[in-house]
Each structure stands twice: as structure tokens, then as C-alpha cells.
Structure 1
């Protein structure tokens, strides 16, 4: 069977929601569908996993402690520069289109049956938080979307690699310089969906970081292995 690009609007909407590019009424409608339509919720999870095909080929970079400290000191300035790039609508629309094409060729077309239009109740939606976690010298390691309303975090790896007997752990770093708090283990071979996870700190000024820990995660509740990268949280 020859592969054709998906044209069903719900399929595209699921891809855009997984990428975190929706806002306003479109975001509210998508969130209502995630709650009320199991097929749409499954499509969102499917697209989150399909985005992992964009993540192959980038080598791991371990910044030195001195470089890591300097990076943390520059987080405030880096947040402004990356915010402009990260929040570019053209970038995300292009990534959504590329993901549709790659996923269609790689794993086939997700067929979503026609259904009657759903009229969601009025919802005041909060735009998701996003972060681009990168190594000290710039290579991107993971794109992360945090939906605070649904308590859902989607981590799409870009330049992460696995190591035997080691685990990758996601952390939130408070803006006040407090101790990092673990958000859970993630994987390098595909997207990770952390459901039922809320940020334990104030999001404003906070950052996300990824470390490499012993198998099963940090034994102390704090990062014990090398910090692979960090990225400031911002509102889409």
C-alpha cells in the first residue's frame, strides 16, 4: 500500500497538540478532546512517540563542571534568546509537517474514523510550558512540553543516548537556586510521556535539566551523575 500524508484534521490537530503549538480556543478544544475522546488521546500519544524519529544521530556531549556552572549563570540571558526561537510558530508548524511526512513513511498512516463534531464546554486553557534542554556548547538534547492543566510532561529526545546500567533522569531546577526536584526517568530511544506529574516548584524562572544516573535513578533524591544539559522553562 502506498503511503499518503494524513489529511484528517483530527490527526493534524493531535500532532500539533503533541508538539505544544496550539493556543487559545484550539488548545482548549484539544484538551477537551483528550479528556472526552479516547481515540484522540491515543493519537496524541502516538504522535508524541513518532516525533522520536527526529532524534537519531546526535552525539552525547558532557560539559565540564566549569562550563556547566557558567551555563547556569547565563540561564537568564539564554532564556530570552531561546524563547524567541522556541516560540516561533513557523518553526513548530514546519516541524509538525515534517513529523507527519516522516512518520507516514516510517510507520504508516494512523487512520482515525470520521466522527460527529465535538462541542467542548467553555474552558479557559493555560498555554503549556516548553523547554529546549541543550548541552553547554549548544547541541539540543530534548524538546519538552509541560501541560500544567493535565499534569502531563512529554519529552522528545533529540541528542540523548543510552548507556548500559545507567538511567536518564529529568529534573526541575527552582528559580531561587533551591535543590533540583526529580520529575522522573526518561528514555533516549523514543518519546517519554510522564502522566500525572505536576511541577513541584513555581514555573516562573525555573529550568529543566537532564542527568545520567545509576540504573533506576538517583539513589539520593538529588542529581549524582553528570548533568547532560539544561533549558529554561517558558510559556508557549
Structure 2
């Protein structure tokens, strides 16, 4: 599988939607560890498709829609030659029942399902807020550890791309530096070292090259309101294009 930068959005969508086979998914996961651009594309795809799991409720299909779909289907042409199904109508072969009612019902169901899914996709994708900036956080070895998406509305999404071992009396805390005058500001804690969407205090609109970092602090967070523990990962923001 060729993974090129121009294909990052499509590859990320296929990966998040589970359309890749096991070997391709493993290749993408390995590439994510090496390439911050692909990691960013996957993070954005996950955020974009998340409402499909959490927000879209099943909706009943009206009889008018069924009738409209049915009226647009062509009539089943007559068979040119006898088939096993026509010779033995009372004993149709499994999976090969070409009767008019069978294929029409299947076609109508498939088309209706496609329409419902397409409507859900359009609705969910268009309603998602896009992040203002994205920061890829690296450790001292230059390895990708996390991706931060700051939406500029007191909300930031932090996705961990590496496993962290955190002692029971410690916690991971996320910070940003809006300006040197303000100093570092906390975005929140990552409970149980898991990815999370954080809602913190009101901060200025995030800017290009703004610093983001994750530190290891005592349980409950830094007692001073400033980073005091070792830095686990840090990176600078880029404006979302």
C-alpha cells in the first residue's frame, strides 16, 4: 500500500471508517507513528465521523418514500430461457430467487438504506466544528505522542497516539502558552491517560506556532497552576487549512 501525502485525507477516512483490511490498517498505524501529517489527518477524520456513532438516531421511513423509490424501479424483464427457479417455483434455490417481489424488495431496501446513510453523513459532517489550530506533540526523541485540536471555544481535543505509564499518584496535564505575558495555561487533565475532549477556562483565540505540551503532575493537577513536572510531549500549533 502506497501512503503518499496527497492521499492522506482519503487514507485517513478509510482507516477511521474501517474500510481497510488488516494488513493495510497495520501499515497506516505504523505510518501514523512516523508521520505527523498522517496522524493529523486521522485525528481530523475521527472527529468528523464521530457523530455517526453518537448523534444520528434511526428514523422511520415513510410509505411515501417507499412508493417514490418503487415507482422509479424498472420492471423486471421476462426471462429469455427457463431457469431452475422458474421450473421449480415451489422450491427456489437459496440465494437465487429471482422472483419479481424478491428482487424489488431487496432493491428498495438497499436504495432506502443508501439514502438514509447519505443523509446522515451530510448532516453529521456539516455540523462538526473545525479546529482552529492543530498541534502534533513529540517527545524528546522526536516521536509522535499526541495530537491536540484547539477549537477556540474553550474546548480542545487531545488524542494520545502512544501508551503512557503514569504512576497512581500522578496525572497527565495539558497546557498551552497563549502568550508570554499570560504564561502557561492549563487545558485540563487526561484522566487514566486516555484521549479526551477538554473544556477549560476562556483563553484568547489560538494562534499559529502556539505552544502545547503535556506534563506529568501530581494527582489532581499542578498545585501552582503552572507546569511543575517533567514534559512528556510538546509541539507548536499550525492553523487548520
* TM-score normalised according to structure 2 size: 0.48
Asked which structure has the greater RCO (Cα within 8 Å, sep 6+), the reply is: 1
